[in-house]
Amino acid sequence: MSTPKNADLLIIGGGMVGASLACALKEKPIKIVIVEAVPLHSQNQPSYDDRAIALAYGSQRIFQGMGLWPQMAPRATPIKKIHISDKGHFGITRLDSEKEGVEALGQVIAGRDIGNVLAEQLASQENVELLTPAKLSDIRYVEGAVEADISQGEQTVTIKAKLMVAADGGNSSVRQLLGIASDRQAYGQTAIIANITPGRPHNNVAYERFTDSGPLALLPMSDQRCSLVWTQWQQDVDEVMGLDDAEFLARLQARFGYRLGALKQVGKRAAYPLCLMQSKEQIRPRLAIIGNAAHAIHPIAGQGFNLGIRDVSALAECVSDALASGQDIGDLAVLQRYAEWRTQDHSEVIRFTDGLVHLFSNADPLAAFGRNVGLTLMEKLPPLKRLLGRQAMGLRGRQPRLNRGLSL
């Protein structure tokens, strides 16, 4: 076996969350190795695909703190208002950036564009080595470190690190190799995404509409397009994916209505089966599990990456503080600080998202009445609405330095 290469931090998975962690630590005097199965600019990159990501205001501030927002801003479309409604029922609620006292409630940016900015930043960082295409194949604990075997084509290299971070998505190989169990609940639903060109300007409004065939979101994008995320029951997916463009638009129009005029054009469609997955452990000695590897959630409220980037800002701060005080970054006490910090946000966002899925995927008239009373109450009770606004903007709980737009 070859001599192991030494690193301080080994990140498995260079998707949106793993790459962001390395970027957040750009000024730190540590050696970071990222292992990524699919090259970042590949057409098949699963993290940086055509999905439009609604970045909460809090996530925008994290990228500001990391110094990356100036590169992202020209590719992003601000969300000024959010309009939530239930088809065929009375309940409607609206969130407005002006009333929340912010310039935008969030920003919509394609996963591919986030990937381009992160890849550019990683290439400029002297403290980062990116191994790709490369895959994790084994993990061992050794004295004062963790060792990982990485397959790169025919070759295997061994990396010895003080801290390993699993950012390798919902089917995390780190979790599998270490026998870390997870709770998994299939929703029996699939999200269909596509870009839509509406007849009227979107005016930077994001629409979330609950319909008899599942919730749908239309997010404002560049060139007056909107990004559609339409949840379908599993049994309907093949039929909806098989519709020709005109039939697809007609079906969508019937569910969404005419707030954006006649829907004129639809781009390439893609389907994502949905589940709720929660890792039973977030940390072990010399290990932290973050992003989708720790929690994969339904995209109904656009919270998945927003939750993952808050893992990044909290972990980056714990690592940075440990370095400043001469502590070992893989020490369990450092990781416990991280895990305790993140518990409340994880459980609140998972409860909120899962609750929305169950409430709004239910055709029962009583459930429909309940949610419409909820939406109406929300509209009439400013404190409740403000709470929803803070949640949507990712501003609840104790905020790490990056979340306040400050550098580490």
Ligand X SMILES: Cc1cc2nc3c(=O)[nH]c(=O)nc-3n(C[C@H](O)[C@H](O)[C@H](O)COP(=O)(O)OP(=O)(O)OC[C@H]3O[C@@H](n4cnc5c(N)ncnc54)[C@H](O)[C@@H]3O)c2cc1C
Binding site for ligand X (CB under 6 A): 12-18, 35-38, 46-47, 51, 53-54, 135-136, 167-169, 173, 191, 193, 229, 272, 291-292, 299, 302-306, 308
Minimal distance, residue 285 CB to ligand X, in Å: 21
Question: Which of 86/168 has CB closer to ligand X?
Answer: 168
> 3-state DSSP call for residue 103?
coil
Contact 50, 173 (CB under 8 A): no
Minimal distance, residue 365 CB to ligand X, in Å: 29
Minimal distance, residue 268 CB to ligand X, in Å: 14
What is residue 297's DSSP assignment?
A: -
Rounded to an integer, what distance in angstroms lies between the CA atom of residue 389 and that of residue 100? 7
Question: Which of 148/323 has CB closer to ligand X?
Answer: 148
Question: Which of 29/268 has CB closer to ligand X?
Answer: 268
Minimal distance, residue 84 CB to ligand X, in Å: 15
CA 52 centroid distance within chain: 11
Joined together, the tokens standing for residue 245 give 């463009």
Q: Cβ neighbours of residue 102 under 8 Å, at least 6 residues apart?
A: 57, 393
Contact 146, 287 (CB under 8 A): yes
Joined together, the tokens standing for residue 193 give 């995404």
Kindly report the number of other CB atoms within 10 A of residue 400's CB atom: 22
Question: Which of 16/240 has CB closer to ligand X?
Answer: 16
**Through-space distance between the first and last CA atoms of the chain, rounded to whole angstroms:** 38
Rounded to an integer, what distance in angstroms lies between the CA atom of residue 355 and that of residue 303? 13
Minimal distance, residue 212 CB to ligand X, in Å: 20
Pick from 198, 307, 300, 295: which is nearest to 253 by CA? Answer: 198
What is residue 74's DSSP assignment?
A: G
Minimal distance, residue 358 CB to ligand X, in Å: 18
Kindly report the number of other CB atoms within 10 A of residue 379's CB atom: 15
Question: Which of 107/320 has CB closer to ligand X?
Answer: 107
Minimal distance, residue 398 CB to ligand X, in Å: 20
Minimal distance, residue 90 CB to ligand X, in Å: 27
Question: Which of 227/372 has CB closer to ligand X?
Answer: 227
Minimal distance, residue 27 CB to ligand X, in Å: 22
CA 293 centroid distance within chain: 11
How, if at all, do strands 32-35 and 5-12 pair? parallel
Joined together, the tokens standing for residue 220 give 């404002």
Contact 33, 159 (CB under 8 A): yes
Minimal distance, residue 170 CB to ligand X, in Å: 6
Q: Cβ neighbours of residue 254 under 8 Å, at least 6 residues apart?
A: none
Rounded to an integer, what distance in angstroms lies between the CA atom of residue 7 and that of residue 159? 7
Question: Which of 38/378 has CB closer to ligand X?
Answer: 38
CA 139 centroid distance within chain: 26
Joined together, the tokens standing for residue 240 give 């909806």
Question: Which of 18/65 has CB closer to ligand X?
Answer: 18
